[in-house]
Amino acid sequence: MIGVLASIIDGVLVGAVYGLAAMGLTLIWGVMRVINLTHGAIIVFGMFALYFFVSTLGLPAYAAVPFSLVFGFGFGVALYWIAAHRVIDRPILMSLLATFSMNMVLIGIGTALFSTSPYNVPVSLPGLRWQAYTFTGTHIVAAVIAVAIAGLLYLLLYRTRIGKAIRAVAGNRDAAELCGIPTTQVLSFAFGLGIALAFVSGTLIATLFPFTVLSGQAYQVKSFVVTVLGGLGNPAGALLGGITLGLIEGAATPFMPVSWIPIVEFVLFVIALLAFPRGIFSFSRS
């Protein structure tokens, strides 16, 4: 029983990082109604960023975090102009395929560079002991960092001018344009922000678990489940949703073989979507 509890608490910690990842996804959706299918690939790139930092450059692991935020943002803005800009106002089919094809390109490049072998970045920290259980130090630090970044995002969205502009464009792009807000630049900024969040979450996940080029898919699924749980377009909800998912995973892991977990999450995802009444999450073109 205590074992399950420990697993759950651990799940909550990891869940905070899932929430961070999902925040990127939900932000992009909320602001520009684009489902970013490169999300998984970005997470993977974030993971490799950590590897690059620690194993190639020999720098301390957590120093990669600010780097990831900045690099991720720049990468995101570039990605916006390459793939997203032209399809923003087109039918959903097009933005879906655009981000999906970008995902294929990124994963393809990643596979060519790193093949599909597993990578691991050993990060050792003293853990917290409780009864017979040790909570891994990395899990705790990752959770703390995730929440801190979430806090920074909140400050940005609600206490700065650019944040206000983002919220305006998210609410009604045409009205924002009429108010003199340079919506295209705001969109590219918001996209960059969303990618930065995904990227840094990848870096954090890499401090916790080994990974391959193909790991992104599983985390993308988790992000989708979280976004649905938390409410599309709602970053705070994403954090809570992430913690919830982490909780569920923590409760399930002692009882289920690991390879089944992504499947269960997919099923959860589909059921959660179907359970919501028609209209709240509809993507109608009108």
In whole angstroms, how close is the CB of 114 to another protein at the nearest point?
12
**Token pair listed for 4:** 């399950």
- Which residue's CB is nearer to another protein, number 14 or number 83? 83
Q: Shortest CA distance to 149 belongs to which of 198, 85, 190, 100?
A: 198
- Which residue's CB is nearer to another protein, number 25 or number 123? 25
In whole angstroms, how close is the CB of 95 to another protein at the nearest point?
8
Q: Given the rule CB under 8 A, which residues bind another protein?
A: 35, 37, 83, 86-87, 90-94, 96-98, 100-109, 111-112, 221, 224, 259-260, 262-263, 266-267, 269-270, 273-274, 278, 281-286
Asked if 36 and 25 touch (Cβ cutoff 8 Å), the reply is yes
- Which residue's CB is nearer to another protein, number 52 or number 100? 100
In whole angstroms, how close is the CB of 282 to another protein at the nearest point?
6
In whole angstroms, how close is the CB of 274 to another protein at the nearest point?
6
- Which residue's CB is nearer to another protein, number 55 or number 90? 90
Helices 216-230, 235-252: crossing angle, 10 deg rounding: 120
- CA 84 – CA 35 distance, rounded (Å): 10
**Token pair listed for 216:** 């992104």
Strands 128-130 and 133-135: antiparallel
- Which residue's CB is nearer to another protein, number 10 or number 249? 249
In whole angstroms, how close is the CB of 267 to another protein at the nearest point?
7
Q: What is the dihedral of CA 44, 144, 75, 159, to 10 degrees?
A: 150
- Which residue's CB is nearer to another protein, number 125 or number 261? 261
**Token pair listed for 165:** 């502009």
In whole angstroms, how close is the CB of 264 to another protein at the nearest point?
9
- CA 197 – CA 19 distance, rounded (Å): 10
DSSP letter for each residue of 245-281: HHHHHHHHGGGS-GGGHHHHHHHHHHHHHHHSPTTTS
